[in-house]
């Protein structure tokens, strides 16, 4: 797609207040593929004022009519499915074989779930002598990350629209092109002017201006825990609602007797998907001492199945990282792992052979990792797996729960009931049992420093609603 040189506000593409632009770079070859406006506080203010003006009319629109518009948005996205996948591959570097089912199809599915929920959700119920109404919160600031650029937009915007809120979106500066494509789909879906607004820009400028704008009622942010803390403080100071989906350091716990080969191979695939740039990735693999050496060998062998390559090639399973900053950060963590005594069994900090241009990191597996090591505690956000040993289930649980995060996780066991019992004791928002599939209707979000609030399904819709009770 061709980049727009304006902001989408109040139902049209409009010239930005300033002249600065952000260049969009293909991380596979470092070529500039487009440029978008670097929005200012003035651009944010115009977008918020448009959303504020549109809110009363959209909030008063019957849920069935809102459902029709969200369904039209889903259809507009579905019509451009291939273009979405190609755009994400170009600006994020995700292999096309991942961009099609995950970066394109999943957001289309999620938009469809909210079209259905908008029509069916009980926005009004009788409780004793009261009628309780679920009313939209107001103007939503949606600040989204680069790692799942369209999915994270849809996971915020679709429920907000279904609830009757209006939205100002500030997407990540690394992946703004698919956000512009989303705005084109909103336009094609016929949403009223001002209901959805897009401001591209940098986090410290446009993002901060949006988070602290007095015309915003709720800030929904996905990104790092460090930035989430700042946004939470800003929102809290203004007594605004806030939803934060932050970092993770999820544990993949393989209990004795589980199908070890399947657990290890699925675990490696989970970590290397999207080049490891997934907040809920199972980046710590916990294996019983009796199975440890075999598991390490299986993981090292599995890593060889992910040679980095051209993301446009249908055979490629591992693309580059999104930026030079991210590549250098991940390589730094790999060097730190070596320095702290972990044993490399695959990959390493050096650039993959033959890839001199682009932001590449070799698929890396560490063995002999102990719970206190940096690579076992901090979110790396790259294709790096740490394999840890445990002696019994109580130790496995202590290790699994022994970080500041609690977003995702997995448990494998020969007996499903044993896996469930272990999962119930994990301090985390989601756990996959024996390879359970992702469910777009299940609440997604974390415990501890992994965030506040939930996305997807009815729980995601409820984030954008506030109750009002009338007594009779």
Three-state secondary structure readout of 74-112:
HHHHHCCHHHHHHHHHHHHCCCHHHHHHHHHHHHHHHHH
Active site residues: 245, 279
Inter-residue contact 161 to 70 (CB < 8 Å): yes
At residue 256, what are phi and psi to the nearest 5 degrees? -55, 135
Q: Are 271 and 299 in contact (CB under 8 A)?
A: no
Q: Which residues contact 151 (CB under 8 A, 6 or more apart)?
A: 102, 103, 106, 107, 110
What lies within 8 Å, CB to CB, of 287 at 6+ separation is 254, 260, 295, 296, 387, 388, 389, 390
Angle between helices 149-163 and 81-92 (to 10 degrees): 130
Q: The sheet that has 7-9: what strands, in order across it?
A: 12-14, 7-9, 196-198, 166-170, 139-143, 218-222, 241-245, 451-452
Please count the residues of the chain.
472
Q: Are the CB atoms for 148 and 177 separated by under 8 Å? A: no
């Amino acid at each position: 797609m061709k980049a727009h040189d304006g902001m989408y506000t109040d139902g049209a593409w409009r010239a930005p207040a300033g002249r600065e632009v952000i260049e969009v770079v293909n991380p596979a070859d470092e070529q500039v593929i487009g440029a978008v406006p670097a929005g200012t506080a003035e651009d944010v203010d115009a977008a918020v004022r448009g959303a504020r003006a549109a809110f009363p009319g959209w909030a008063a629109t019957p849920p069935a009519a809102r459902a029709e518009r969200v369904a039209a948005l889903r259809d507009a996205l579905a019509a451009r499915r291939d273009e979405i996948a190609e755009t994400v591959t170009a600006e994020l570097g995700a292999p096309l074989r991942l961009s099609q089912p995950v970066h394109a199809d999943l957001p289309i599915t999620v938009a469809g779930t909210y079209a259905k929920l908008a029509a069916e959700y009980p926005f009004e119920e009788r409780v004793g002598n009261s009628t309780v109404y679920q009313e939209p919160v107001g103007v939503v600031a949606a600040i989204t990350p680069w790692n799942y650029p369209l999915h994270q937009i849809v996971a915020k915007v679709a429920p907000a629209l279904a609830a009757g809120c209006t939205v100002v979106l500030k997407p990540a500066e690394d992946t703004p092109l698919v956000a512009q494509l989303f705005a084109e789909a909103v336009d094609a879906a016929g949403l009223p002017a001002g209901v959805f607004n897009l401001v591209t820009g940098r986090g410290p400028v446009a993002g901060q201006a949006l988070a602290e704008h007095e015309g915003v009622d709720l800030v929904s942010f996905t990104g790092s825990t460090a930035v989430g803390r700042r946004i939470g403080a800003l929102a809290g100071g203004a007594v605004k609602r806030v939803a934060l989906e932050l970092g993770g350091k999820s544990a993949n716990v393989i209990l004795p007797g589980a199908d070890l080969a399947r657990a290890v191979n699925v675990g490696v695939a989970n970590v290397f998907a999207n080049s490891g740039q997934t907040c809920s990735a199972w980046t710590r693999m916990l294996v019983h001492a009796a199975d440890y050496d075999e598991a390490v060998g299986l993981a090292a062998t599995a890593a060889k199945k992910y040679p980095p390559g051209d993301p446009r090639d249908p055979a490629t399973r591992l693309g580059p990282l999104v930026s030079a900053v991210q590549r250098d950060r991940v390589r730094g963590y790999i060097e730190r792992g070596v320095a702290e005594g972990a044993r490399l069994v695959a990959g390493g900090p050096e650039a993959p052979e033959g890839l001199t241009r682009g932001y590449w990191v070799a698929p890396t597996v560490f063995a002999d990792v102990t719970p206190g090591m940096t690579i076992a505690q901090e979110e790396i956000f790259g294709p790096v797996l740490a394999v840890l040993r445990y002696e019994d289930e109580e130790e496995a649980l202590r290790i699994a729960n022994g970080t500041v995060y609690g977003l995702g996780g997995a448990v494998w066991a020969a007996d499903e009931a044993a896996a469930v019992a272990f999962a119930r004791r994990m301090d985390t928002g989601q756990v996959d049992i024996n390879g359970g599939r992702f469910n777009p209707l299940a609440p997604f979000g974390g415990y501890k420093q992994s965030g506040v609030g939930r996305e997807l399904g009815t729980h995601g819709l409820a984030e954008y609603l506030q109750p009002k009770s009338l007594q009779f």
